[in-house]
């Protein structure tokens, strides 16, 4: 029963995104921009998987996933900017003559990729180590990580940080010699994002199914019991926090070339809350829910902002309140309950006719 249910989701997912959407583009129904937009949503979904691991499974509400996402994006963006000019424009305007030392490694693509994952992972380790060692839990964890993201946002906004300030980094031309404006390249990026999302999903699926995943869920249920059962909970929380940060960073890395711009706005308070909402609306504690939530909320966002540009936040807020009040398990939970109800109804009618 359960496996049938899952495989239906998988078949639908692959049919829509690996066949239908690209076919729609090739036959001329969908513009390449639509494809690119969905490619971006996949990147959000990758980050959402991480949020589901840390929040949905382990019960730690981390509000700094948007920051890790941006670290990935900024890293790739720095590489792309350096591909174009030896000294970025905004530095010239700010009368800086030599490239700052922390920009230097981003000249090399391989080093960029390594740093894009290493920096978020190392930061997550550091933040997690301090917070988990001091036994910070629940709402305090959320507040501290949110404050941290806010602080980072303020730092990235400043011109002195040499990361483009409010305007962020934009106007990229090529990646590894490929023209980013090219339709074929955009389609390739779409498929790469899709593949990485699938791989990330499979990895997370394995993690949650393993005993390690069970320990995470046990920590969510009763952390003290896990400790008295001789598990070092701090290590487990730290591990999952680093994995979540890595997933966010990978999402950010793939997001950048498909969007063409990264600004600190991607990690402001609104953005970091929104990321958590994807998972809440989709269904936390369920990887499928996280992916569906990220894709659906972002799709709704693009629909709503073009139809009712000013009311998006109200719509999102309304959806969130409804979810919290009436379907705790999100969209996935709703579908499961409905299926069970219909199944029961069917059984009852079958019994009465008999």
Tell me which residues touch another protein (CB under 8 A).
Answer: 207, 210-212, 214-215, 217-218, 220-222, 224-233, 235-236, 239
- Least distance in angstroms from the C-beta of 226 to another protein: 8
Three-class DSSP labels, the chain: CHHHHHHHHHHHHHHHHHHHHHHHHHCCCCCHHHHHHHHHHHHHHHHHHHHHHHHHHCCCCCCCHHHHHHHHHHHHHHHHHHHHCCCCHHHHHCCCCCCCHHHHHHHCHHHHHHHHHHHHHHHHHHHHHHHHHCCCCHHHHHHHHHHHHHHHHHHHHCHHHCCCHHHCEECCCEECCEECCCHHHHHHHHHHHHHHHHHHHHHHHHHHHCHHHHHHHHHHHCHHHHHHCCCCHHHHHHHHHHHHHHHHHHHHHHHHHHHCEECHHHHCHHHHHHHHHHHHHHCCCCHHHHHHHHHHHHHHHHHHHHHCCCCHHHHHHHHHHHHHHHCCCHHHHHHHHHHHHHHHHHHHHHHHHC
98/235 with CB nearer another protein: 235
| Minimal distance, residue 169 CB to another protein, in Å | 36
72 vs 285, which CB is nearer to another protein?
A: 285
Q: How near is the Cβ of 292 to another protein at its closest, in Å? A: 21
> What is the closest distance, in whole angstroms, from the C-beta atom of residue 238 to another protein in the complex?
9
C-beta closer to another protein: residue 218 or 295: 218
**Least distance to another protein from the beta carbon of 157, Å?**
37
Nearer to another protein, 178 or 327 (CB): 327
Query: By C-beta, is 198 or 226 nearer to another protein?
Result: 226
């Amino acid at each position: 029963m359960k496996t049938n249910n899952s495989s239906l989701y998988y078949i639908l997912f692959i049919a829509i995104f690996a066949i239908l959407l690209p076919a729609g583009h090739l036959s001329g129904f969908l513009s390449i921009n639509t494809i690119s937009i969905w490619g971006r949503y996949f990147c959000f979904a990758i980050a959402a998987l991480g949020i589901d691991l840390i929040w949905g499974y382990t019960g730690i509400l981390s509000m700094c996933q948007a920051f890790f996402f941006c670290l990935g994006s900024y890293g790739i963006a720095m590489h792309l900017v350096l591909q174009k000019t030896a000294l970025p424009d905004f530095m010239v305007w700010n009368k800086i003559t030599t490239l700052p030392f922390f920009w230097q490694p981003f000249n090399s693509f391989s080093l960029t990729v390594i740093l894009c994952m290493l920096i978020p992972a190392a930061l997550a380790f550091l933040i997690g180590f301090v917070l988990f060692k001091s036994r910070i839990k629940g709402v305090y964890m959320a507040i501290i990580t949110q404050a941290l993201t806010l602080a980072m946002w303020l730092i990235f906004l400043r011109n002195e940080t040499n990361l483009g300030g409010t305007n962020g980094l934009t106007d990229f031309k090529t990646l590894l010699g490929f023209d980013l404006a090219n339709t074929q390249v955009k389609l390739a990026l779409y498929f790469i994002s899709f593949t990485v999302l699938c791989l990330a999903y499979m990895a997370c699926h394995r993690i949650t199914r393993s005993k390690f995943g069970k320990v995470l869920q046990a920590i969510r249920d009763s952390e003290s019991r896990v400790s008295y059962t001789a598990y070092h909970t701090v290590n487990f929380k730290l591990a999952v926090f680093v994995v979540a940060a890595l997933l966010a960073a990978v999402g950010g890395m793939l997001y950048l070339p498909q969007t063409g711009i990264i600004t600190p706005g991607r990690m402001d308070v609104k953005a970091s809350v929104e990321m958590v909402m994807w998972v809440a609306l989709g269904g936390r504690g369920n990887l499928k829910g996280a992916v569906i939530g990220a894709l659906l909320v972002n799709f709704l966002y693009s629909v709503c902002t073009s139809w009712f540009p000013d009311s998006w936040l109200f719509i999102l807020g309304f959806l969130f309140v409804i979810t919290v009040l009436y379907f705790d398990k999100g969209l996935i939970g709703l579908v499961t309950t409905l299926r069970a109800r219909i199944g029961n109804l069917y059984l009852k009618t079958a019994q009465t006719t008999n």
